[in-house]
Amino acid sequence: MTQPLDPVAKLLRVTRRLPPAVEARAARDYDARLNPEDTPSSPDSLIEAAAGADGVLCCPADRFDAATIAALPASVAILATFSVGTDHIDLAAAAARGLVVTNTPGVLTDATAELALLLMLAAARRAGEGERMVRTPAGQDGAWTGWAPTQLLGLQLSGKNLAILGMGRIGRAVAARARAFGMTVHYSNRRRLPPELEAGAIFHADPDEMLGAADVLSLHSPATPETHHWLNDARIARLPTHAVVVNTARGTLIDDEALIAALRRGRIRAAGLDVFENEPALHPGYRELANAILLPHLGSATEETRNAMGFKALDNLDAFFAGAAPPDRVV
């Protein structure tokens, strides 16, 4: 843990309950107003809670749209978000107001890559169906009655093609892990990687052209207007019928209606999803699908990673209030 700050403590509003080590450092260095009940925030409560604050340490579920940013007390000079993504913050409104925004890049890579592999394996090997079968009491429909030669046959990952959309830090970490399973990696990215980062992966300048090779498609692209509902009916039609779709990036990358329809009719084999459009109010159609593995946004949910995220957010706040450039400034 870093050394305590010397200046008079700034008032810091922390919008959600954070790991104990992170809250301890925040309380040590700031007049930290915590949220021990972990009560989710509405725009009105965010504005009210920020009264008198010098900075806000916020989280992805906190929606700082233009109206909320405009209504923040004049004392608030910085938003340090406990996330890499900033799509919950209107960055243009923040810039117009002169509000500094920072994020926490670089510390979620391994945890998110591990979760992507978990989803690949669980979806390909029908782990969700098997787990539910074992939990069902004997005698009830769907209960496990013992081993059978054709029970829950899935897709073996070794020897298969993994197609990755977005070959940043997380995409490359997923590729490295997939190679250990004997998978061949294909990828599409805004720019081709240099050979040392590509590590033998096959580049596709046109992501649509890559889809035909995808036994597994893993999404690792940021949310932008260009990637909104990127996986739609037309692109699903390019996938092999045995394909597995995995998303640990942003829920908005997927057209839910298109993916649910494809899963329902067997147009593709399975999906493993950790993020959803409008989460936690995910499309109810997913809950009806046995071939969909659904997780509650666990990508960075390890003790090591969540501590690192909190410390990075505090590092940014420390630098800002010391008059230095925050290392992870977005705006």
Q: What is the mean pLDDT of residues 236-254?
A: 98
Assess whether pLDDT exceeds 80 at residue 7.
Answer: no
The answer to whether 135 touches 155, Cβ cutoff 8 Å, is: no
In this prediction, residue 265 carries a pLDDT of 98
Tell me the pLDDT band of 56, cut-offs 50, 70 and 90: very high
Beta partners for residue 202, in sequence order: 186
Assess whether pLDDT exceeds 60 at residue 5.
Answer: no
Closest by CA position to 279, among listed 244, 247, 326? 247
> Catalytic pick from 250, 267, 304, 306?
250
> Catalytic pick from 192, 279, 283, 329?
279
Residue at 65: amino acid letter: D
The alpha-carbon radius of gyration of the chain (Å, integer) is 22
Tell me the pLDDT band of 181, cut-offs 50, 70 and 90: very high
d(C-alpha 123, C-alpha 31), whole Å? 46
Q: What is the mean pLDDT of residues 279-296?
A: 97
Assess whether pLDDT exceeds 80 at residue 302.
Answer: yes
d(C-alpha 254, C-alpha 277), whole Å? 8
Assess whether pLDDT exceeds 60 at residue 1.
Answer: no
> Catalytic pick from 28, 88, 297, 329?
297
In this prediction, residue 4 carries a pLDDT of 56
The answer to whether 223 touches 277, Cβ cutoff 8 Å, is: no
d(C-alpha 212, C-alpha 235), whole Å? 9
> Could you read off the pLDDT of 72-116 as tens digits, one per residue?
999 999 999 999 999 999 999 999 999 999 999 999 999 999 999
Assess whether pLDDT exceeds 60 at residue 6.
Answer: no
How large is the greatest C-alpha to C-alpha distance in the chain, in angstroms?
69
Tell me the pLDDT band of 156, cut-offs 50, 70 and 90: very high
Q: Provide the mean pLDDT of the chain.
A: 97
In this prediction, residue 298 carries a pLDDT of 98
* Residue 250 annotated among the catalytic residues of the structure: yes
Cα of 311 vs its chain's centroid, Å: 19
d(C-alpha 296, C-alpha 82), whole Å? 17
Domains of the chain in sequence order: 11-107+302-321 (3.40.50.720), 109-294 (3.40.50.720)
SS (H, E, C) 84-134: CCCCCECHHHHHHHCCEEECCCCCCHHHHHHHHHHHHHHHHCCHHHHHHHH
Beta partners for residue 244, in sequence order: 216, 270
Q: Order across the sheet with 100-102: list the strands.
A: 31-33, 11-14, 55-58, 78-81, 100-102
Query: Cis omega before residue 280 (within 30°)?
Result: yes
Determine which of 2-11, 87-96, 315-324 has the lowest per-residue pLDDT on average. 2-11
Work out the angle at residue 309's Cα, subtended by the Cα atoms of residues 308 and 312, and round it to the nearest 5 degrees: 85
Assess whether pLDDT exceeds 90 at residue 272.
Answer: yes
